[in-house]
Amino acid sequence: MMLITKQELRAWRVGPYMYRWFIRQFPDGGKYADVHGALIHYGYVDWATSLVEYAYSLWLEKENFAYQETNATDALADVLSDISPEVKATRQALGTQPLALNGFMPNDGSLYARKLATNSDNFKLMDIDNGSQIGCAGDGVRIGSTGHSARIAASGVNVQIGSSGEYGWLSSCGYSSQIASSGYGLRAGCVGHDVRVGSSGDRARIATAGNSAKVSSSGRGVRIASAGMRARIGSVGSSSKVASSGDLSHISSFGEGARVVSAGDNARIVAMGDSALIASTGSVDYFVLGKGGCATVAYFDGQRMRFAVAYEGEGNIRAGVKYKLNAEHQFVAY
C-alpha cells in the first residue's frame, strides 16, 4: 500500500499550506490514489503533479504502485467523464447532443460518428456518444468520453483526456498532457514532454515520444513504447511488452511473461513476473529478474559488441536481486 503520512510530507519538504491541507483531509495518512483524487477534486492540480513526480521516483519498483497509479488515473477519468443522470436524461430527450461546457455545440445531429472541433483554450467537453471524433488545438483542454470507439486528438499544453469506453483512440502532442483510460483496447499516443498516461484496461497500446513520460498500466496484454529520455514505465498485467529507446529510462514490470526491451543507456529495469525477459542493447545501471526470468545486456569488450546473458537460478543469479555488469563483464549484485 502506498500510504502517504506526515513523515513523508516532511521528507518531501512540502510547503506549509499543503501540509496543513493534508493534515485536515488525511489526519491518519492517506493512500496515494485517494490523496491524488482529493487534490484534483479541490483544484490543486500543481500539487497533484508534484505528488505524481514523488510517487514515480519512490515507488515505481513496488508492484502495488501501478495499481495505485491506475486507480488515480481512473479517478481522473471519472472526474473528466462525470455526468449526472439528470443531464444524461435531458441529452437523450434532446437527441443526445454532446454537452460543450463553454457553449460550443456541433451541427451534426446524427447519433454516431459525431464530429466536433475547436481551437479554444480551457475548452471543456463531456461526450457519451459512440464513434465520436473530437479535435482540439487549445491549451488547458479537459475532455471526457464514455462512448465506445471514440477518437480524440488534442495539440495544446496541459491537456487532460479521460475515456472509459472501449477501443478509444486518444492522442496528444502538447506538453504536460494527461491521458486516463479504463476501457479495453485503448490506443494512446503522446509526443510532448512530461506526459502522463494511465490505463487499467486490457490490451492497451500506448506510445510516447517526449522526455520524462510517465506511463502506468494494470491491464493484460499491454504494449508500451517510449522514445524519450527519463521515461518512467510501470506495468503489472501479464504478457505485457515494453520498449524504450531513451536514455535514463526506469521500467518496472510485474506481469507474468513480460517482455522488456531497452535501447537507451543507463536504464534501470525490473521484470519480476515469472518467466519475464529483459533485452538491453544499451548500458544498464541494474536489472532485477523474477522466477524463471532471463536478461541479455550488451557490452563492448574492446574489439566488438557482445551480449552477457543471465538466467535466474543459474550462475548465482537469484530472483528479486539487483544485478549489474562489472568491469570484467560479469554479473554482480548491485
Q: Pairing state of beta strands 3-4 and 294-300?
A: unpaired
pLDDT value of residue 113: 57
User: Would you state the pLDDT for residue 147?
Assistant: 86
Pair 18, 8: CB distance under 8 Å: no
d(CA 48, CA 36): 6
The DSSP bridge pattern shows strands 259-262 and 277-280 to be parallel
pLDDT in tens, the chain (334 residues): 678 988 888 888 888 998 999 999 999 999 898 998 898 888 888 888 889 988 999 899 998 898 989 988 988 888 787 654 444 444 444 344 444 433 334 444 444 457 888 888 988 888 888 888 999 999 999 899 988 999 999 999 999 999 998 999 999 999 999 999 999 999 999 999 999 999 999 999 999 999 999 999 999 999 999 999 999 999 999 999 999 999 999 999 999 999 999 999 999 999 999 999 999 999 999 999 999 999 999 999 999 999 999 999 999 999 999 999 999 999 999 9
Given phi > 0 = left and psi -120 to 50 = alpha, else beta, which region is 311?
Answer: beta
User: Is-contact 172 192, C-beta < 8 A?
Assistant: yes
- pLDDT number for residue 40: 82
User: Quick one: which of 153, 95, 148 has its CA closest to 125?
Assistant: 153
Q: Report pTM.
A: 0.87
**CA dihedral of 261, 266, 272, 278, whole degrees rounded to 10:** 30
DSSP 155-168: -SSS-EEEE-STT-
Would you state the pLDDT for residue 1?
61
What's the CA dihedral at 278, 283, 288, 289 to 10 degrees? Answer: 30
Cβ count near 207 (within 10 Å): 19
Q: Single out the residue of 82, 79, 106, 78 nearest to residue 94, CA to CA.
A: 106
pLDDT of residue 163: 92
Tell me the C-alpha distance between 220 and 238, whole Å: 5
User: What does the pLDDT read at residue 124?
Assistant: 85
Domain boundaries, the chain: 3-59, 130-333
